[in-house]
């Protein structure tokens, strides 16, 4: 039986009725074009409060590695529905033993679904995801990933690896008996009222690390689902436990990368753990070049930022937009981020950082400490 289709469009409201300062949001317009921004959409309390699109309307476009966070939700739905027993299951339980590397370390047999979700599989995957380009030229993408040497014990070291994301898509396809896209339309997109998406595939498996095309509004709806702990229009789509596990830091990830465009890492979600007090706690999906889906659950605020590609580090401009304008527009407990503080963010550490102690899949301890400015 096919899932019911949810409401297609988000309701709209003036920023002030949602607890946002409209003037602060309007001030964004001065920097959007100079910063190479393509779209901005802000949702507060379930209502579309502000949006801007360079093209004049919201168009479907690549969300790049934000795809990973959507895939994470689908893995969670598969676990909730019994297609996958739990994330501690070795990948060899779902990918036939013959598909595991013959000349690799025995530790490949100990790689679990959790290890793939947290980017701690141990596969050799250097130069910040560079092998992904070679994978897409291979005759068999899954085989290419599985044939990579295992150079770290699974669970030991974080290495950003879109090939591991592709294995998750292959596991989802095998366990559900549907393509990842078909499963998504049935269990996630359909209930959210998302009716038109495009998702690239290789050898019959949707790309796990990227390849999904959505409108900004549809991506915002996905973020709002997570802000509401997995419930949409009164219906449970993904368990609250999965949402919570996915969006807590399982590893430091790229917390100390400069400029600070990343953060800690959960289950294919980034977790912000370095921020001034004016910024609410949030987690985010991140795509190459500065594509952000940011979710601040305590504020029930979701922001989508799409940016033209201009190199990885220029993504700091999207992050500045999020911090200096969107979060600064929150009325009440938050105060405006001083311009003198935020203007140097690209070249300096934040005025305060959080030291995170994590173990794979365990609780996170965050201790506040001051960080001197460069």
Q: How many CB atoms lie within 10 A of CB 297?
A: 19
Contact 75, 168 (CB under 8 A): yes
Q: Say whether 331 sits in a helix, a strand or coil.
A: coil
What are the beta bridge partners of residue 42? 50, 303
Which residue, 165, 163, 199, is CA-closest to 179? 199
Q: How many helices, marked H, and strands, marked E, lie in the chain?
A: 13, 16
Torsion of CA 57, 62, 68, 71, to 10 degrees: 70
For the beta carbon of residue 219, count every other beta carbon within 10 angstroms: 29
Nearest to 81 by CA among 170, 164, 3, 167: 3
User: Which pair of structure tokens corresponds to residue 217?
Assistant: 């509004």
Please state, as a whole number, how many other Cβ atoms lie within 10 Å of the Cβ of residue 33.
Answer: 10
3-class SS of residue 353: strand
Buried b (16+ CB within 10 A) or exposed e, 251-283: bbbbbeeebbbbbbbbbbbbbbbbbbebbbebb
Structure tokens at 258: 């400069």
* 129 to 227, 272, 288: CA distances (angstroms): 29, 21, 11
Written as one string, the DSSP assignment of 234-267 is TEESS-HHHHHHHTS-SB-TTTT-SS----EESS
Q: What is the C-alpha separation between 151 and 208, in angstroms, rounded?
A: 22
What is the predicted pLDDT for the residue at 274? 62
pLDDT the model gives residue 207: 98
Ranges of H-type helices in the chain: 22-26, 29-32, 67-80, 113-117, 126-129, 131-135, 141-146, 162-176, 180-184, 216-227, 240-246, 316-321, 339-342
Task: Give the pair of three-digit tokens for residue 256.
Answer: 């100390």
Q: What is the CA radius of gyration of the chain?
A: 20
- pLDDT tens for the 374 residues of the chain, in order: 344 556 678 999 999 999 999 999 999 999 999 999 999 999 999 999 999 999 999 999 999 999 999 999 999 999 999 999 999 999 999 986 464 544 444 567 889 999 999 999 999 999 889 999 999 999 999 999 998 889 999 999 999 999 999 999 999 999 999 999 999 999 999 999 999 999 999 999 999 999 999 999 999 999 999 999 999 999 999 999 999 999 999 999 999 899 999 999 999 999 997 677 779 999 999 999 999 999 999 999 999 999 999 888 999 999 999 999 999 999 874 444 443 343 334 333 233 334 444 544 433 433 333 222 22
CATH topology for the 15-59+215-370 domain? Beta-lactamase (3.40.710)
| Structure-token pair, residue 78 | 């598969």
Residue 366 burial by Cβ neighbours in a 10 Å radius (0-12, 13-18, 19+): middle
Assess contact for 123 and 100: CB atoms under 8 A: no
Please tell me the predicted confidence (pLDDT) of residue 70: 98
Q: What is the C-alpha to C-alpha distance for residues 69 and 76, in angstroms, rounded to an integer?
A: 11
CA distances from residue 27 to 31, 46, 169, 218, 296 in whole angstroms, order as listed: 8, 23, 41, 25, 21
Cα–Cα distance, 163 to 279 (Å, whole number): 33
Query: Domain limits of the chain?
Result: 15-59+215-370
């Amino acid at each position: 039986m096919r899932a019911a289709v949810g409401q297609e469009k988000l309701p709209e409201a003036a920023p002030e009725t949602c607890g946002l300062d409209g003037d602060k949001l309007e001030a964004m317009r001065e920097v959007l074009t100079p910063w190479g921004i393509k779209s901005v959409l802000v949702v507060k309390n379930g209502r579309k409060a502000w949006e801007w699109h360079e093209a004049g309307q919201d168009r479907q476009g690549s969300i790049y590695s934000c795809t990973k966070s959507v895939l994470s939700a689908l893995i969670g739905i598969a676990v909730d529905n019994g297609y996958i027993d739990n994330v501690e299951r070795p990948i060899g339980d779902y990918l036939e033993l013959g598909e595991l590397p013959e000349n690799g370390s025995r530790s490949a047999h100990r790689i679990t679904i959790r290890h793939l979700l947290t980017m701690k599989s141990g596969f050799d995957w250097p130069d910040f995801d560079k092998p992904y380009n070679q994978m897409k030229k291979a005759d068999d993408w899954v085989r290419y990933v599985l044939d990579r040497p295992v150079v770290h014990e699974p669970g030991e070291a974080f290495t950003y690896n879109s090939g591991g994301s592709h294995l998750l898509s292959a596991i989802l396809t095998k366990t559900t008996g549907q393509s990842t896209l078909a499963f998504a339309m049935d269990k996630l997109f359909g209930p959210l009222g998302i009716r038109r998406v495009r998702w690239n595939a290789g050898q019959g498996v949707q790309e796990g690390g990227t390849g999904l095309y959505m409108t900004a509004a549809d991506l915002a709806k996905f973020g709002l689902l997570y802000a509401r702990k997995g419930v949409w229009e009164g219906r449970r789509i993904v368990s609250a436990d999965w949402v919570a596990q996915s969006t807590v830091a399982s590893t430091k990830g790229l917390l100390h990368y400069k400029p600070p465009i990343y953060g800690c890492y959960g289950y294919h979600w980034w977790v912000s753990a370095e921020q001034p007090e004016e910024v609410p706690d949030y987690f985010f999906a991140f795509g190459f070049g500065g594509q952000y889906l940011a979710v601040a659950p305590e504020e029930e605020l979701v922001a989508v930022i799409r940016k033209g590609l201009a190199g990885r580090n220029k993504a700091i401009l999207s992050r500045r937009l999020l911090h200096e304008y969107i979060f600064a527009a929150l009325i009440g407990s938050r105060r405006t981020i001083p311009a003198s503080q935020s203007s140097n963010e690209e070249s300096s550490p934040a005025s305060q950082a959080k030291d995170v102690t994590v173990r794979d899949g365990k609780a996170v301890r965050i201790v506040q400490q001051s960080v001197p400015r460069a």
